A and B are shown apart, each in its own frame.
Chain A
Amino acid sequence: MAYSDKVIDHYNNPRNVGQMDKGSSEVGTGLVGAPECGDVMRLQIKVNPDTQVIEDAKFKTFGCGSAIASSSLATEWVKGKTVEEAMQIKNTDIVKELALPPVKIHCSVLAEDAIRAAIGDWKKKNGVEAAAGTPVSATIG
């Protein structure tokens, strides 16, 4: 398996690793994937309530190098964007940026799902109507 330089860079120096307070109303959390499938991503965003700008993002990922790189890149891209702008990020953009081979496209799909799930969680917390088709986060229960 060959990896692009960008995947290797994100793997060696993952951006924005960590977690934020799930309970905060400003924080949206997306937990997507499943351990049995070999990848789980948790992506969190912190949204400025006045401007709806994503001021911070954190992630943790269980998965292959491409999954780690996809989620690391996703945190970089959502930062500074408004929630609506972040909703426009497409998995194909991630594929292109990281030069992911076909067998790794599902990693980019998962990253897109993670962004949408985090935004969905934030919207739910703040009484904003979630768009149809928004992926839901895994639930602890």
Chain B
Amino acid sequence: MSAVENLTTKQNGTHKGVKLPIYMDNHATSPMDPRVLEAMLPYFTQIFGNAASRNHSFGWEAEQAVEKAREQIAKLIGATAKEIIFTSGATESNNLAIKGIAEMYKERGNHIITQVTEHKAVLDTCKRLEKQGYRVTYLPVNADGLIELEDLKRAMDDKTILVTIMFANNEIGVIQPIAEIGKLCHERGVIFHTDAVQAVGKVPVDVNALNIDVLSLTAHKIYGPKGVGALYVRRRNPRVQISAQIDGGGHERGMRSGTLNVAGIVGLGKACELAREEMATEAERLRKMRDHLKAKLESNLDYVHVNGSMEHHLPGNLNMSFVYVEGESLLMGINDIAVSSGSACTSATLEPSYVLKALGLGDDVAHSSIRFGLGRFNTDAEVDYVADKVIDIVQKLRELSPLYEMVKEGIDLSKIQWEAH
């Protein structure tokens, strides 16, 4: 292969005071807040003890730090410290919750309810359980990306042990009716787990007000370190039990063995504390920036389509399709901006986003989608730069697009017999 270079490393520099490249993919991961790093640093070389060491001060200090973090996390979601179990991240939390509950309550029933736009960490876990004899119902979503509560009601039967529905979607930012789902579950005595990775720290989450029994969260989506997450497990009304999926020294009340990642846990705790203090102002700022981005794109381009309900939506998310422009070619043109696309060409499987398809969007619209993920460190100037650049490249690519030309000439693309390959 000839000289190949990575586009993303090419466009460094500044443009009118905006530092390039711009990171606007905060649903994938977020940069660590320097205040989080500062809190973590002593726990690598100075306070390095094993939090399970009961016989010396090194262990006690580490344990103290872990217990403080537990408090910080619990406070953010309205839980108590004892209800927080540390894990390696949300994928592990989701696995532990779903498999652990399925195993623990198998005498009571074998039916699990989830929905189609969940993260693969939930969907693939459910699929594995199906192979083991569990019955899984995958609820559909409407065009807005929301499940219908009536569907959930209808799906519940006397064998249902678990409902697992995400709080907010990672692609389209749509927030499910969590309080109503929680209420339904509690009325029927069904355990309610939610993958709240995208919601915690972004929108208010209170496990008691929302009747959540088990909740997954992770540090790296809220300006904390990668490789550390937590699972909230309700201790009263009802007391939820989970079968351990990792055996060993019996850490974390036996639910998750393994020496605790003390520095990471300190980082998660600090990230939660900052989120709790700054969420209200930050959400408002992100919402304004997101709305500005949306308005600017919509007023300068035709055939744009917002994916997912804007009413029930994370403040920092915008998922938009630029119809008649293929997503990967758009990403190539805006290579000084880090965003994601639902285009097949950007995925390993060459399939367009299953989330967008679940909304009933055609593959062509899914191929044209871009996810903007605004975060704590984005600025107004960056948003303007991104909007201008996207408008410019979409216009250029539409000059190249036979579909755009045909539509402009009044040809109905659905009447064409395409030679699919």
A positions within 8 Å CB-CB of B: 1-6, 8, 11, 14, 17, 19, 31-42, 60-65, 67-68, 99, 101, 103, 106, 109-110, 113, 135-141
Q: Is the CB of A138 within 8 A of B364?
A: no
Q: Using Cβ atoms and an 8 Å threshold, which residues of chain A touch B3?
A: 4-5
Q: Using Cβ atoms and an 8 Å threshold, which residues of chain A touch B6?
A: 2
Q: A35-B363, A64-B329, A141-B415 are in contact. Are A2 and B5 (CB under 8 A)?
A: yes
B positions within 8 Å CB-CB of A: 1-7, 324-326, 328-329, 332-333, 343-346, 350, 352, 362-364, 367, 399-405, 411, 413, 415-421
Contact partner, B405, options A60, A109, A136, Cβ 8 Å:
A60
Q: Is the CB of A32 within 8 A of B419?
A: yes
Q: A4-B3, A5-B5 are in contact. Are A36 and B418 (CB under 8 A)?
A: yes
Q: How far is the CA of A58 from the CA of B6 in the complex (A)?
A: 29
Q: A35-B363, A41-B402 are in contact. Are A138 and B421 (CB under 8 A)?
A: no
Q: How far is the CA of A137 from the CA of B80 in the complex (A)?
A: 65
Q: Is the CB of A36 within 8 A of B362?
A: yes
6 A-B pairs (CB sep. < 8 Å): A4-B1, A37-B363, A42-B402, A62-B404, A68-B400, A140-B411
Q: Is the CB of B417 within 8 A of A138?
A: yes
Q: Using Cβ atoms and an 8 Å threshold, which residues of chain B touch A36?
A: 362-364, 367, 418, 420
Q: Using Cβ atoms and an 8 Å threshold, which residues of chain B touch A32?
A: 419, 421
Beyond A36-B418, A38-B326, A63-B329, 8 extra complex contacts between A and B, CB < 8 Å: A1-B7, A11-B329, A11-B333, A31-B402, A36-B363, A36-B364, A62-B326, A141-B417
Q: Using Cβ atoms and an 8 Å threshold, which residues of chain A touch B352?
A: 38
Q: A17-B399, A17-B400, A140-B415 are in contact. Are A1 and B421 (CB under 8 A)?
A: no
Q: Is the CB of B2 within 8 A of A64?
A: no
Q: Is the CB of A139 within 8 A of B416?
A: yes
Q: A2-B7, A63-B329 are in contact. Are A138 and B324 (CB under 8 A)?
A: no
Q: Is the CB of A62 within 8 A of B325?
A: yes
Q: Is the CB of B405 within 8 A of A138?
A: no
Q: How far is the CA of A77 from the CA of B364 in the complex (A)?
A: 29
Q: How far is the CA of A137 from the CA of B5 in the complex (A)?
A: 35
Q: Using Cβ atoms and an 8 Å threshold, which residues of chain B touch A40?
A: 402-403, 418
Q: Using Cβ atoms and an 8 Å threshold, which residues of chain A touch B399?
A: 17
Identity of the chain A residue whose Cβ is nearest the Cβ of B323 in the assembled complex: A35
Q: Is the CB of B421 within 8 A of A65?
A: no
Q: How far is the CA of A102 from the CA of B362 in the complex (A)?
A: 26
**Nearest 9 pairs of A and B residues by beta carbon:** A34-B418, A35-B364, A36-B363, A60-B402, A64-B328, A42-B402, A38-B367, A65-B332, A64-B345
Q: A32-B419, A42-B402, A138-B417 are in contact. Are A62 and B363 (CB under 8 A)?
A: no
Q: A39-B326, A41-B402, A64-B345 are in contact. Are A34 and B2 (CB under 8 A)?
A: no
Q: Is the CB of B328 within 8 A of A99?
A: no
Q: Using Cβ atoms and an 8 Å threshold, which residues of chain A touch B419?
A: 32-34, 135-138
Q: Using Cβ atoms and an 8 Å threshold, which residues of chain A touch B400?
A: 14, 17, 60-62, 68
Among the interface residues A1, A64, A103, A138, which one has the most CB atoms of the partner chain B within 10 A?
A: A64
Q: How far is the CA of A36 from the CA of B367 in the complex (A)?
A: 8
Identity of the chain A residue whose Cβ is nearest the Cβ of B6 in the assembled complex: A2
Q: How far is the CA of A40 from the CA of B403 in the complex (A)?
A: 8
Among the interface residues A63, A68, A106, which one has the most CB atoms of the partner chain B within 10 A?
A: A63
Q: How far is the CA of A67 from the CA of B325 in the complex (A)?
A: 12
Q: A2-B5, A6-B2, A60-B400 are in contact. Are A68 and B329 (CB under 8 A)?
A: yes
Q: How far is the CA of A65 from the CA of B325 in the complex (A)?
A: 11
Identity of the chain B residue whose Cβ is nearest the Cβ of A103 in the assembled complex: B350
Contact partner, B421, options A3, A42, A68, A106, Cβ 8 Å:
A106
Q: How far is the CA of A106 from the CA of B420 in the complex (A)?
A: 12
Q: How far is the CB of B396 from chain A (nearest CB, A)?
A: 9
Q: Is the CB of A33 within 8 A of B2?
A: no
Q: Is the CB of A11 within 8 A of B418?
A: no
Q: A2-B4, A14-B400, A62-B325 are in contact. Are A35 and B332 (CB under 8 A)?
A: no
Q: How far is the CB of A3 from chain B (nearest CB, A)?
A: 6
Q: How far is the CB of A12 from chain B (nearest CB, A)?
A: 9
Q: Using Cβ atoms and an 8 Å threshold, which residues of chain A touch B402?
A: 31, 40-42, 60-62
Q: Is the CB of B2 within 8 A of A99?
A: yes
Q: How far is the CB of A101 from chain B (nearest CB, A)?
A: 8
Q: How far is the CA of A61 from the CA of B325 in the complex (A)?
A: 9
Q: Is the CB of A61 within 8 A of B363?
A: no
Q: How far is the CB of B2 from chain A (nearest CB, A)?
A: 5
Q: How far is the CB of A132 from chain B (nearest CB, A)?
A: 17
Q: Using Cβ atoms and an 8 Å threshold, which residues of chain A touch B332?
A: 3, 8, 11, 64-65
